[in-house]
Chains A and B, each alone.
Chain A
Amino acid sequence: NAGVTQTPKFQVLKTGQSMTLQCAQDMNHNSMYWYRQDPGMGLRLIYYSASEGTTDKGEVPNGYNVSRLNKREFSLRLESAAPSQTSVYFCASSRSDLEQGYWTDTQYFGPGTRLTVL
């Protein structure tokens, strides 16, 4: 299993350009997530998808759109990139499991995409 894969690993954009970050998982997980990581702020949720065909906004959705293409793939699109979107972007997936009588949902993360907007 490759787990969660992300492409590209690095990207430099000019202000106003658009791009799509790709994410795929091979663990048959239902839920998928996009986060951004900025120094001192931990990870903040941009969008998530609880199941194929559904998406919902997270904490910082402005300037982004997502597509849950199928169960495996969840893409993040920047329509008009801004310098404030310079960040490291992480995709994650999760599945609910019953452990010791409790439902638990553990997220597994991809390696990240480092994006710079000039």
Chain B
Amino acid sequence: AQSVTQLGSHVSVSEGALVLLRCNYSSSVPPYLFWYVQYPNQGLQLLLKYTSAATLVKGINGFEAEFKKSETSFHLTKPSAHMSDAAEYFCAVSAGAAGNKLTFGGGTRVLVKP
């Protein structure tokens, strides 16, 4: 069984400030981890994924995430927030590769203040 917990359903950051979104997971097998972003009235778009190749993963739009097995965490960061980063972000886990189901966290909505 797998589960994902995202701490904070809403995060407010100032433009230019650090964005930090927290994700903790539980999995009975080595996990594959994903971050997706959802802009208003749109589907989900992949930001980045961890598949055991490297613990620090770089994604699109300047985002990156670090896999920490000892902390069962996969937090998402961006050094400098931009107004266009306002969206909802979802962390997800799957138990493996082929045809696998994703288990999502509840999501974190990011508000960027000018």
Complex interface: chain A residues within 8 A of B99 (CB): 30-31, 48, 50-51, 94, 96, 105
CB distance from A51 to the nearest CB of B (A): 7
- Structural contact, B104 and A42, CB atoms closer than 8 A: yes
Compute how far the CA of A41 lies from the CA of B98 in the bound complex, rounded to whole angstroms: 25
Band of interface residues on B: 20 to 34
Complex interface: chain A residues within 8 A of B94 (CB): 105
Complex interface: chain A residues within 8 A of B34 (CB): 106
Band of interface residues on A: 20 to 34
Secondary structure type dominating chain A contacts = strand
Complex interface: chain B residues within 8 A of A12 (CB): none
Compute how far the CA of A110 lies from the CA of B42 in the bound complex, rounded to whole angstroms: 8
Contact bitstring B81-110, A, C-beta under 8 A = 1, else 0: 000000000101010111111111111000
Within 8 A of A (CB), among B45-64: 45-46, 49, 51-53
Complex interface: chain B residues within 8 A of A45 (CB): 101-103
Apart from A41-B106, A104-B51, A105-B96: 17 A-B pairs, beta carbons within 8 A:
A31-B99, A40-B9, A40-B106, A40-B107, A42-B4, A42-B90, A43-B104, A48-B101, A50-B98, A51-B99, A96-B99, A99-B53, A105-B32, A105-B98, A107-B102, A109-B36, A109-B45
Q: Which residues of A contact B (CB under 8 A)?
A: 4, 30-31, 33, 40-45, 48, 50-51, 58, 90, 92, 94, 96, 99-112
